[in-house]
Chain A
Amino acid sequence: MSSGYTKEKKVGEGTYAVVYLGKQVVTGRDIAIKEIKTGTFKDGLDMSAIREMKYLQELKHENVIELVDVFADKDKNLNLILEFLPSDLEMIINDKKIMIIPADIKSWMLMTLRGLHHCHRNGILHRDLKPNNLLISPEGYLKLADFGLARSLGHPNEKLTSNVVTRWYRSPELLFGAQHYSPAIDVWAVGIIFAELMLRTPYLPGKDDSDQLVVTFQALGTPTEEKWPGVSHLPHYNNLTVFPEPSRQELRNRFPAATELALDLMCGMLSLNPNNRLDTKACLLHPYFTESPEPTEPEKLPQKS
């Protein structure tokens, strides 16, 4: 293999890529190699590979996975050289041997929001945030990964597809099939991840798309014209059971370990009406991050066992 990288072991295979672990020869640095399958698609290079390459080339941030290099090997396969990130937030949440304290959650939330803020400032929507796309470096840094569904924030008139984001992390406007949406869809997903970190179990695990609506509105109330003007005109807004909005006390009971400010932030991210949802900047400036306890240093965060 050319260009100074070695492939050592295959660690995964997706629809458009095979992932290997390897090393950068000169530095000895561990890296991941995403080898894009070419020639298997009749329409040339796959769209997900294009998106991943397009956006990662533009995003350099401590909390976004680093694209170290791109090159072609002699078989004309495209190789994305990514930094090596051995674990992810899903592994940590599911590892029952790990104890997670509120300061750890604050630290992961902070890193997630910083990475996401950088994406949004660059006009990029991630559109697939979930715990297993939040990777963790050996030093404990959390980084946004998998930009295969990302897209640029275009002109306000442009129509977008609502068929994005893994079901449990899909915001109400996406569930309703909205064709115009904003960075707020990513903030919703982070809000759900926040809840999942506190509960140690998925917050809104819908069994299918219609169940997702029920589960979501059971927990957070059904949006109405009054709270969200225009919502009833969205394509899939029909035959809804109207659930009341949960009281503050009900939320406290559901999240017993959360502080009042933590609940405030979570509710701000999970506002049903996307126009009232906090943006990443408002989230980052939220007093939750400055109240005690301080976020755990990345190096001291729990790692998978």
Chain B
Amino acid sequence: MVVSNDDLFRRSTQFRFWSFTRLQLEELRVVANKKGIEKTEERINQLDDSLPETKIVKDHRDQFQYVHLDEEKKLVSYYARRCKELASFFHLSAQSRSTAIMYLYKFYLYHSVMEYHPGNIMLTCLFLAAKVENQFIGINSFSKNIPKTTPEGILKNEYLILETMKFSLQCHHPFQPLYGFFLDIQQMLPKLDFNRLGKNYDGARELVNDSLFSDLPFLYTPPQIALTCLWVCDDVLVEKYLSKKFKVNRKDEPDDEQGLQHYNKILVIIRQCADILRKEVQDPSQDESKTISAKIKLCLEPARFGKKILKQTTEQLKRPASIDESPDTKRVKVESE
């Protein structure tokens, strides 16, 4: 039996556990989001009935704001971007950085931000990824460099993340295939202007970094993403390379039938991939993240929601009260304290 390189990839955990269709991805996220809502409802049901805010929470249940599906994704992407910055701060390699980001996105295919705040999970993902990629940072120096963290707080989630990763830690990123294409293009097109290729390679590397903030790594293989990034930077060059590679579009000879099929198939994939790369790379603003985080705070501690409404009603009552202080408003105020 001959085992091809494609076979090897199909045996990898990246293919077996972490490659999806768009529909499958959507379904996983819907389930995770539902789980987050259910957990929040449980928390509401478990509130202490002797507290005044509990009744208010239960009376205003229809107004309770859960985190939406697209908000979940936005917030995870926001922290994935922060993860990238933090990785640079620790001088981690592209490999470690990208692995950490992938752990974060993988984690939220099975959990909701309403269960675990991505701000915390992100730190543990980075700490773990550095170990997995052989760039160990001691927990004390790691924590010391990140304000408002403790070693225990970061380590606490390590196990949960490992479990969610299904204990499969290896991540293949497009950097190596990109370098492979860079070398192979020089081999196939020896007369090519090296500056042009170099510029293309640098641009593509940037795009590979961007591709992490979309669903591309779950939908396409690392070489497909690498080739797409090169194509987006310089489509003429990549198409020239591919037609030489597959022996098509030659002046002197007829096209190789099988080669033509491969060529067309690859270009279709590249175009689909490029479409996602152009439209779906996420970079949410800090304001957006703050709004979503505020919601999560209430989901994690629903009592706060009751207190918030109490405060609002008190303030509403207080406003006319400043003109005409009625004994009624005073009573509400006392109750709320």
Q: A residues bordering B, Cβ < 8 Å?
A: 38, 42-45, 47, 50, 53-55, 57-58, 60, 70, 72, 76, 78, 121-122, 151-152, 154-155, 158
Scoring B residues 151 to 191 as 1 if CB is less than 8 Å from chain A, else 0, what string do you get? Answer: 10001001100110001111000011001000000000000
If the complex has contacts A50-B131, A57-B13, A151-B134, are A45 and B8 also in contact, measured as CB distance less than 8 A?
no
Q: Once the chains bind, are A53 and B169 in contact (CB under 8 Å)?
A: yes
Most buried by A among B8, B138, B162, B167: B167
Known A57-B170, A72-B163; contact A45-B131, beta-carbon cutoff 8 A: yes
- Name the one of B12, B139, B162, B179 contacting A78, with C-beta atoms under 8 angstroms: B162
Nearest B residue (CB) for A69: B167
Inter-chain contacts of A38 with B (CB < 8 A): 159
- Nearest A residue to B95 via CB reads A154
Given contact pairs A76-B159, A154-B95, A58 touches B170 in the complex (Cβ within 8 A) = yes
CB-based A-B contact count at 8 angstroms: 58
Closest A residue to B124 by beta carbon equals A44
Instruction: List the B residue with the shortest CB-CB distance to A67.
Output: B167
Instruction: Report A-chain residues with C-beta under 8 Å of the C-beta of B12.
Output: 58
Give chain B interface residues in 20-53, CB to chain A under 8 Å.
Answer: none
Q: A43-B136, A44-B158, A76-B159 are in contact. Are A53 and B176 (CB under 8 A)?
A: no
* Set of chain B residues within 8 Å of A78, measured between Cβ atoms: 159, 162
Q: Are B168 and A60 in contact (CB under 8 A)?
A: no
Nearest B residue to A43 via CB reads B139
Q: How far is the CA of A44 from the CA of B126 in the complex (A)?
A: 13
Measured in the bound complex, the distance between the Cα atoms of B95 and A47 in whole Å is 17
Chain B positions near chain A (C-beta within 8 angstroms): 3, 8, 11-13, 93, 95, 127-128, 131-132, 134, 136, 138-140, 151, 155, 158-159, 162-163, 167-170, 175-176, 179
Contact present for B162 and A58 (CB under 8 Å): no
What 8 additional pairs, Cβ within 8 angstroms, besides A45-B162, A78-B159?
A: A43-B136, A45-B159, A50-B132, A54-B169, A57-B168, A58-B12, A78-B162, A155-B176
Check if B136 sits within 8 Å of A122, measured CB to CB: no
Residues of A within 8 A of B138 (CB): 43
Residues of B within 8 Å of A76, CB to CB, are 159
Q: How many Å lie between the Cα of A159 and that of B159 in the bound state?
A: 29
Q: Closest Cβ of chain A: how far from B257's Cβ, in Å?
A: 30
Residues from chain B with a CB closer than 8 A to the CB of A50 are 131-132, 169
Contacts of B163 in A (CB 8 A): 72
Considering only CB atoms, which chain A residue lies closest to B136 in the complex? A47
Please measure, in the bound complex, the distance between the C-alpha atom of A53 and the C-alpha atom of B13, giving whole angstroms: 12
**Which A residues are in CB contact (< 8 Å) with B176?**
155
Cβ of A27 to closest chain B Cβ, rounded Å: 21
Sample of 30 A–B contacts (CB below 8 Å):
A38-B159, A43-B131, A44-B158, A45-B131, A45-B158, A45-B159, A45-B162, A47-B131, A47-B136, A50-B169, A53-B169, A54-B170, A57-B167, A57-B169, A58-B11, A58-B13, A58-B168, A70-B167, A72-B159, A72-B163, A76-B159, A78-B159, A78-B162, A121-B8, A151-B134, A152-B170, A154-B95, A155-B176, A155-B179, A158-B93
**The 7 nearest A-B residue pairs measured at CB:** A70-B167, A54-B169, A44-B158, A44-B155, A43-B139, A57-B168, A57-B13
Chain B residues with CB under 8 A of A121: 3, 8
Q: Is the CB–CB distance between B8 and A44 below 8 Å?
A: no
Instruction: Name the B residues within 8 Å of A72 (CB-CB).
Output: 159, 163
Taking the closest CB of chain A, its distance from the CB of B106, in whole angstroms, is 14
- Residue numbers in B under 8 Å from A47 (CB-CB): 131, 136
| CB-nearest residue of chain A to B156 | A44
Shortest Cβ distance from residue B203 to the other chain A in the assembled complex, whole angstroms = 19
Contact B139 A44 (CB under 8 A): yes
Closest CB-CB distance, B155 to chain A, in whole Å? 5
Enumerate chain A residues within 8 angstroms of B167, measured Cβ to Cβ: 53, 57, 70
Docked CA distance A185–B162 (Å): 31
Bound Cα distance A38, B179 (Å): 38
Decide: B132 and A54 in contact? CB cutoff 8 A: yes
Minimal beta-carbon separation of A199 from chain B (angstroms): 34
**Residue among A57, A70, A122 making CB contact with B8, cutoff 8 Å:** A122
Min Cβ gap B149→A in Å is 14
Chain B's nearest CB lies how many Å from the CB of A72? 6
B156 CB, min distance to chain A CBs, angstroms: 10
A60 touches B11 (CB 8 A): yes
Q: How far does the alpha carbon of A154 sit from the alpha carbon of B151 in the complex, in Å?
A: 29
Chain B residues, CB < 8 A from A58: 11-13, 168, 170
- Min CB distance, B125 to chain A, in Å? 12
Give the shortest distance, in Å, between A160 (CB) and chain B (any CB).
Answer: 9
Looking at A44, A47, A78, the one whose CB has the most chain B CB atoms below 10 A away is A44
Cα distance A47–B8 when bound, in Å?
25
Q: Which residue of B has the minimal Cβ distance to A38? A: B159
How far, in whole Å, are A154 and B175 apart by their CA atoms in the complex?
10
How close is A163's CB to chain B, nearest CB, in angstroms?
Answer: 13
Contact partners of B13 in chain A: CB under 8 A: 57-58
Report the bound CA distance from A151 to B8 in whole Å.
18
- Inside 8 A of B140's CB, which chain A residues have their CB? 42
User: Nearest Cβ distance between residue B27 and chain A, in whole angstroms?
Assistant: 25
